[in-house]
Structure 1
Amino acid sequence: MKSNGFSKLIKFLNQLEQKKISYTLAHNRDETVMLNIAVPGERWEVEFFEDGSIEVEKFISNGEILGEEVLNDLLAVYLNSDEPGIELHYNSKLANAT
């Protein structure tokens, strides 16, 4: 029996709501629905495919909170490139902050 991606998505949404975990839905790829979930110290990207498969990417914080002073450094990673988002530049301030 072929697994139904929609039923997996609905089941997971119900589990998140039972645990009172907030999420947002996104549609970034033709064949998927993505959930963006933020819990203390982590962020998850969970993609549900129409064929029933699921991909999960977890981002874990080291717990360090940075201030306003790093905003320009964060943007500079993309502003220094001719093609934004293609070439990343190493920034020692940010590397040491993570």
Structure 2
Amino acid sequence: MRNIDPHPLYRLLRRLEEGSFPFRLDRHRDDTVLVSVTLVGGRLEIDVFEDGHLEFARFVGDESVDSDPARIDEILWIGIGEKR
């Protein structure tokens, strides 16, 4: 039996499971799998490419809660440069 090195996606998933980190898998591109990891105070989005390389973005926040519905539009539309 050959000892085959697993794809980086499988290594990442094992590490997350070992650490009991909540995560979800999504597919938005045909050459990547997006692994979204929930952390205290933020989240980590890791793109795992078909060729095995990884790219990631870290989002940090203070977990404060806002209840003003107008803020949702403000947050969504500011990203595309429109005012509503």
Normalising by structure 1, we get a TM-score of 0.68
**RMSD (Å), alpha carbons:** 2.4
Name 2:73's counterpart in structure 1. 75
Count residues in correspondence: 79
Contact 1:77–1:88, Cα closer than 8 Å, also in 2: no
Please identify which structure carries the higher strand content.
2
Please identify which structure carries the higher helix content.
1
Q: Where has structure 1 moved over 6 Å in runs of 4 or more? A: none
Shift of 1:22: 0.8
Shift of 1:20: 0.5
Normalising by structure 2, we get a TM-score of 0.78
Counting aligned pairs with the same residue, the percent is 27
One-letter amino acid matched to 1:74: I
Name 1:87's counterpart in structure 2. 81
